[in-house]
Amino acid sequence: MTHALNSRGSRRRQLAGMLYATPTAVIVGALFIAPLVLVVIMSLNKWPLLGSPTFNFPKNYQKITDDPLFMDAVWFTLKYTAIITVLLSALALGLALLVQDRRPGVGFFRTAFFLPGAVGFAAAALLFYGMLNNDFGPFGFLHVNWIGTPDMALFSTILLVLWRFAGFNMLILLTGLQSIPVDVYEAARTDGASRWQVFYRITLPLLRPTIALMLILSITGSLLAFDQFFIFTNGGPDNSTVSMVMVVYRNAFFRFDLGGAAALSMVLLIVLVALNAVQLRILRGPR
């Protein structure tokens, strides 16, 4: 089948292939592998923002559990992740089911639901920052203190994230819904299955891999939340909405402790790699 390709000398082909892959290799090596090695080294040293590092293993790791801000951030981030994942998945599934059929005007609704996703997350956070300000925004008449208390700050952030990401997750689910053959539905309907039975017995099981993908993207994204809490709530009130990545950032650039920040990001790395390993099992398992 590949006469021409082979007859040109596999050694020359090999060299050509390596040449084309060189830019990839340089970028992966210099900007991904090297930083990964460096973050391990940094986590073993007292590494100030300015000045030279000194070896201090295992101090950076020991002090993780002594940092009340980080331990609070762990619980807060887990709580946020659980709430967002449930609400976002439910909303995205509802939206996807509403716009899955090819009816007139469905394109408009898909676009409308997705459009917030085209706006950058930082821009979206600033938009809500203004919209939920009672002096400037349209909801002042409700007299709700949107980011004034810890619970309300979390609630308002959830509104922001749902608005920004529901369409994104809807799109993921739509790709899964559209890969379900139409005749499966028709067969079920002729057998007299109700709408609910079709959804529960056919749609949900066949959508399982897509839902798993959405859940993993939502969980990993939420565990690494930063922009929404840095921009929208600024960690407040009283550090009640400080996420794990915000603590990494604060340690590095406010406490000038890059070694401590590196140790924290090693913890994040291990958690995320473990989660991704679970993801691969779920995604590849049932096939």
Q: Which is nearer to other proteins, 88 or 213 (CB)?
A: 213
Collapsed DSSP state (helix, strand, coil) of residue 99: coil
Are the CB atoms for 51 and 259 separated by under 8 Å? no
List alpha helices for the chain, DSSP H.
3-7, 10-28, 34-43, 59-62, 68-98, 106-118, 121-131, 150-178, 182-190, 195-198, 204-223, 227, 244-253, 258-284
User: Is 188 near other proteins (CB under 8 A)?
Assistant: no
Angstrom distance (rounded) from CA 216 to CA 258: 29
112 binds other proteins (CB under 8 A): yes
Note whether 28 binds other proteins by CB under 8 A: yes
Residue for token pair 């017995």:
201
Q: Does 73 bind other proteins (CB under 8 A)?
A: no
**Count of residues touching other proteins (by CB under 8 A):** 93
**CA 205 from centroid of its chain's CA atoms:** 24
Q: Could you say which of 45, 46, 245, 250 contacts other proteins (CB under 8 A)?
A: 245
CB-based contact 207:170 (threshold 8 Å): no
Stretch 122-151 residues interacting with other proteins (CB under 8 A): 122-124, 126-131, 133, 135-138
Q: Is 262 in the site for other proteins (CB under 8 A)?
A: yes
196 binds other proteins (CB under 8 A): yes
C-alpha–C-alpha distance, residues 240 and 251, integer Å: 17
Residue with smaller CB distance to other proteins, 75 or 253: 253
The single residue among 92, 147, 161, 261 that binds other proteins, judged by CB under 8 A, is 261
Residue 278 found at the interface with other proteins (CB under 8 A): no
| CB of 34 or CB of 144, closer to other proteins | 34
- What is the C-alpha separation between 269 and 43, in angstroms, rounded? 12
Site for other proteins in 215-234 (CB under 8 A): 217, 224, 226-227, 230-231, 234
Question: Which of the stretches 4-12, 54-62, 75-83, 146-154 binds other proteins when contact is defined by CB under 8 A?
Answer: 4-12
Question: Is 44 among the residues that bind other proteins (CB under 8 A)?
Answer: no
Out of 74, 158, 171, 215, the residue judged to bind other proteins by CB under 8 A: 171
SS3 231: helix
Minimum CB distance to other proteins smaller for 3 or for 102: 3
* Residue 195 in contact with other proteins, rule: CB under 8 A: yes
Residues 6+ apart with CB under 8 A from 70: 64, 244, 247, 264
Cis peptide before 205 (omega within 30 of 0): no
83 sits near other proteins (criterion: CB under 8 A): no
Which of the 8 DSSP states describes residue 48?
A: B
Among 92, 153, 207, 258, binds other proteins (CB under 8 A): 258
Q: How far is the CB of 38 from other proteins (least distance, A)?
A: 4
Q: Based on the shown chain and the rule CB under 8 A, indicate whether residue 9 belongs to the binding site for other proteins.
A: no
Tokens representing 134 are 């009672």
Stretch that binds other proteins, among 64-72, 109-117, 149-157, 181-189 (CB under 8 A): 109-117
